[in-house]
């Protein structure tokens, strides 16, 4: 009975994620789902991407958090429209929440919405939220075995950024192991090395996001 209920909920989530995509298409908006562990650097990478993309695209952010609004306040200081999604303890974001939040924005005045998912390598990967593409962060201090230990996250993402790369020399972190395991579960994944501290890789990652957004915005 449990499994049946979970299955129903997931099917229902798929339906709603389709509805989110329809809403986005009607207003020509692209949505990117940003995921990673607690402390992987999601908010600071997002900030760096916004700085690089805001001249070209009208951007908004949905900040998912279990409690509080620290990250939303951080994004708001950039002068970017932001909505805080408080999951009230839940470990992931579902499409229904995105569907409810979208009317809070002036969608015709936007090109690109970033959703910062809950810091969690497990549950968020299971739920499509109506995103056009996914970006997963893995920070160097987490270790080079994480793709093998949390495969669904890395199998379902479109890009993987190895973040906090400025710390690389301080850790026993084998890039080749991450690449091998990531390509093993996801041969098409785009790989980046990024550091908000040094700036490394952020232009390349922003260019990749822009290319994906162009595909979506011109397809509609």
Q: Which is nearer to its own copies, 95 or 110 (CB)?
A: 95
Spatial distance between the Cα atoms of 164 and 40, rounded to a whole number of angstroms: 8
Question: For residues 10 and 128, what is the distance between their CA atoms, to the nearest angstrom?
Answer: 9
* Residue 177 vs residues 145, 182, 214: alpha-carbon distances, Å: 8, 8, 32
Candidate residues 70, 174, 184, 220; the one interacting with its own copies per rule CB under 8 A: 70
Give the binding range for its own copies (CB under 8 A) out of 49-57, 94-102, 121-129, 202-210: 121-129
Collect all residues with Cβ–Cβ distance below 8 Å to 133 and sequence separation of at least 6.
32, 33, 158, 159, 212, 216
186 binds its own copies (CB under 8 A): no
How many Å from the N-terminal Cα to the C-terminal Cα in the chain? Answer: 41
CB nearer its own copies, residue 1 or residue 55: 1
Candidate ranges 2-10, 52-60, 77-85, 202-210; the one touching its own copies (CB under 8 A) = 2-10
Q: What are phi and psi of 126, to 5 degrees?
A: -80, -15
Q: Which of 11, 15, 18, 39 binds its own copies (CB under 8 A)?
A: 39
Write out the residues near its own copies by the rule CB under 8 A.
1-2, 5, 9, 37-39, 65-68, 70-71, 89, 91, 118-123, 126, 139, 141-143, 145-146, 148-152, 164, 167, 170
């Amino acid at each position: 009975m449990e499994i049946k209920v979970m299955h129903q909920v997931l099917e229902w989530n798929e339906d709603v994620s389709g509805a989110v995509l329809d809403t986005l298409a009607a207003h020509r908006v692209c949505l990117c789902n940003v995921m990673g562990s607690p402390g992987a650097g999601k908010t600071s990478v997002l900030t760096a991407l916004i700085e690089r993309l805001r001249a070209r695209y009208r951007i908004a952010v949905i900040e998912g958090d279990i409690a509080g609004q620290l990250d939303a306040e951080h994004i708001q200081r950039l002068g970017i429209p932001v909505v805080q999604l408080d999951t009230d303890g839940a470990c992931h974001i579902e499409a229904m929440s995105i569907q409810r939040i979208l009317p809070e924005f002036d969608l015709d005045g936007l090109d690109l919405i970033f959703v910062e998912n809950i810091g969690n390598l497990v549950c968020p990967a299971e739920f499509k939220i109506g995103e056009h593409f996914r970006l997963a962060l893995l920070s160097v201090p987490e270790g080079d075995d994480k793709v093998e230990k949390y495969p669904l996250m890395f199998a379902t993402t479109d890009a993987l950024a190895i973040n906090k790369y400025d710390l690389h020399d301080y850790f026993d972190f084998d890039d080749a192991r991450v690449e091998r395991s990531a390509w093993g579960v996801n041969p098409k994944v785009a790989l980046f090395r990024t550091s908000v501290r040094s700036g490394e890789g952020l232009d390349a990652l922003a260019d990749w996001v822009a290319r994906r957004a162009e595909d979506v915005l011109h397809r509609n």
